[in-house]
Structures are given as C-alpha cells and as structure tokens.
C-alpha cells in the first residue's frame, strides 16, 4: 500500500544556454506576423546551478532549443548524498555558510541537500565536493544489499532508541486528541520488527482532515513536493493533490487517510501505550511493509 492510501479505498529540470532568446521575424501560418518573444536575461553560473537543482528552466521560454531533462534521484540516494556532504563538511570543521562560500552557492542550498529535502544537481554536487578537495566516485552492489545491511544494523538497536530517533512520542503528544493509529513500518517497529522507518506513519480518518490541516498550520507544516524533491510549495490540505507527507516543527509525519481507523492492538514501551495496526493486518493490507516484514523474517527467523 502506498502512503496516503488505505485498504478499500519527474521532477523535470531544463538547462538553457543563458543567452537571450531570439524571436522569429518572419510570418507565421497564413502569412501573419509573429509577435516577438520577450528576451531572457543571461543567468549567472552560480544562479544557474541553483536553478537547475530546483528544477526551474533557465531559458524561461518555449523558444529555447538547448534543454536537458534531469530525472529525480531515488529518495535513498538523495539521503546518502546529503549525508556524505554533511560528513565531509563536519570532518573539516566547516559551517554550512563557509562551505557555501567556498563553492559559490547559497547556504540554503547546502542545508536542503544535507537534510535530504532537495535532489542535488550533479554540477552543484561536484562544486560542493571540490570545495573540500574530494570528488564523487560511483560503485555498484547487489540489489537491495543496502537494505539487508540496514535491517541487520537495526536488529542490534533497542526499540526505545529507535522510537526516540523518530520523535514519535513528541509527535503523538502534540497531535493531542486528533484520532490516529500507528501503521506501516512504524507499527511493525513497535511490535518488535525493526524495519527502516523514515518518519512516523499514522492512519487518520478523512473526516478529520480539517482538524489535521489546522494542526499542520499551527505546527508550521510544509508538504512534500515530489516534483521538486523538497518540502513546500503545495497546499497542506490532504484533499489537495500530492503525497500525504509533511514536515513540521515536531518532525516529519506521513498519513494514511482512511474512511475508518483500522482495528488495532495495544503495545507498551517505556511505560507508554501505543495503538498500532497488528502485523497480521499489515501483511494483508500494506504491500510495502509486508515486503519488508518478509525480508526481515527470512533473515531473523528466531525473532519473529
């Protein structure tokens, strides 16, 4: 099941040549004159890097002929690249501002890349790494080898530590009396199957959508914009197009919008109770979580 759905119910960037677009002087169809195309101001190199990364078209007009399509990277790869930039920067005791100045980009771009909120363009990524006297290399590994390694690492960590890392308790406290149920990989984690969890996953009823929207507004929420691979630029309301994924002052939240909340079991950790979707239900209704659970069980049969 995809996040944002319940049972029963490319990014594109173009690169211009930075020159003014020339308008056709001759006649159009039927011999009628063609209106001149408004000239586009040249783009500075640093600005070009940032606008390519954000997915905007540097040529700014359909008359441009020198354009290149850039596909969005996978979420996992974006996180790896952001973590790499941060680790290299911190190992050199550089601030984000200092690295940005060395690379000739904005501090905001560095921050978004390190958080994994933005898909970095290759020219920008190379500039950041070159400013630290390192370069990017490429290697391959068996498909999903990273997932097996992550499952093995998570199996060694206490569940309480993984819960704290998600800021789950703080988020649930801040949601107050908004009805919700923990679902997805988050529910599996709370039931002793430590699956990879990027953000808390909660089932929320459609009829509580307005309450959720008001809460998101009060929590300075920003919605995930899949087109640009960053948060912001979309309406908060779950009814509006887009993934049900928001970043708030209390951390990220992902919602599975349902007509009715699913049946639950109660689990306890650290003296706190959680209402979660049981594993047997996740196996049937949530394909993504079910796939992860099967992989976990194959590698840790004594723990399931």
At 291, is the secondary structure helix, strand, or coil? helix
Question: Between 107-115 and 96-103, two packed helices, what is the crossing angle to 10 degrees?
Answer: 120
Which burial class, exposed, middle or buried, applies to 266 when counting CB atoms under 10 A from its CB (0-12, 13-18, 19+)?
exposed
The pLDDT, as a whole number, for residue 50 is 41
Q: Are 234 and 242 in contact (CB under 8 A)?
A: yes
Outline where 14-74 has alpha helix (H).
Answer: 45-54
Q: How many CB atoms lie within 10 A of CB 215?
A: 20
The pLDDT, as a whole number, for residue 303 is 60
First CA to last CA distance, the chain: 22
Geometric angle at alpha carbon 285, from 243 and 199, rounded to 5°: 40
The pLDDT, as a whole number, for residue 89 is 93
Set out the domains of the chain in order of their start, with CATH numbers.
Answer: 75-130 (1.10.260.40), 145-297 (3.30.460)
Q: Are 218 and 243 in contact (CB under 8 A)?
A: no
At 284, is the secondary structure helix, strand, or coil? helix
What are the Cα distances from residue 200, in Å, to 48, 184, 187, 203?
A: 36, 9, 9, 10
The pLDDT, as a whole number, for residue 270 is 85
Q: Are 282 and 289 in contact (CB under 8 A)?
A: yes
Query: What is the distance between the alpha carbons of residues 205 and 210, in angstroms, rounded to a whole number?
Result: 10
The pLDDT, as a whole number, for residue 74 is 64
**Would you give per-residue pLDDT tens digits along the chain (304 residues)?**
444 445 444 333 333 343 333 333 344 444 444 444 444 344 344 444 444 444 443 333 333 333 223 344 567 788 888 989 999 999 999 999 999 999 999 999 999 999 888 788 889 999 999 999 999 887 665 556 666 777 777 777 888 888 888 899 999 999 999 999 999 999 999 998 888 888 999 999 999 999 999 999 999 999 999 888 889 999 999 999 999 999 999 999 999 999 999 999 999 998 899 999 999 999 999 988 988 888 888 877 766 5
Query: What is the distance between the alpha carbons of residues 253 and 201, in angstroms, rounded to a whole number?
Result: 6
């Amino acid at each position: 099941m995809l996040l944002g759905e319940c049972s029963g119910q490319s990014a594109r960037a173009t690169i211009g040549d930075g020159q003014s677009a020339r308008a056709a002087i001759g006649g159009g169809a039927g011999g009628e004159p063609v209106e001149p195309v408004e000239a586009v101001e040249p783009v500075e190199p640093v600005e070009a890097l940032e606008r390519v990364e954000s997915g905007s078209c540097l040529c700014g007009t359909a008359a441009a002929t020198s354009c290149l399509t850039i596909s969005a990277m996978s979420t996992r790869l974006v996180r790896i690249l952001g973590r790499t930039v941060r680790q290299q920067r911190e190992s050199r005791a550089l601030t984000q501002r200092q690295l940005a100045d060395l690379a000739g980009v904005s501090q905001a771009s560095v921050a978004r890349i390190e958080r994994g909120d933005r898909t970095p363009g290759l020219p920008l990524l190379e500039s950041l790494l070159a400013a630290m006297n390192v370069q990017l290399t490429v290697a391959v590994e068996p498909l999903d080898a990273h997932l097996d390694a992550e499952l093995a690492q998570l199996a060694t960590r206490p569940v309480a530590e993984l819960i704290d890392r998600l800021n789950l308790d703080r988020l649930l406290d801040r949601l107050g009396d908004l009805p919700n149920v923990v679902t997805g990989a988050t529910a599996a984690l709370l039931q002793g199957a430590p699956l990879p969890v990027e953000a808390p996953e909660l089932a929320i009823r459609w009829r509580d959508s307005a309450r959720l929207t008001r809460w998101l507004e009060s929590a300075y929420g920003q919605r995930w914009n899949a087109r640009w691979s960053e948060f912001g630029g979309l309406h908060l309301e779950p009814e509006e197009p887009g993934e049900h994924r928001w970043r708030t002052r209390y951390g990220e939240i992902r919602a599975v919008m349902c007509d009715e909340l699913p049946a639950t079991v109660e689990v306890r950790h650290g003296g706190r109770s959680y209402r979660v979707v049981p594993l047997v239900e996740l196996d049937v209704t949530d394909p993504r979580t079910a796939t992860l659970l099967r992989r976990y069980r194959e590698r840790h049969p004594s723990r399931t």
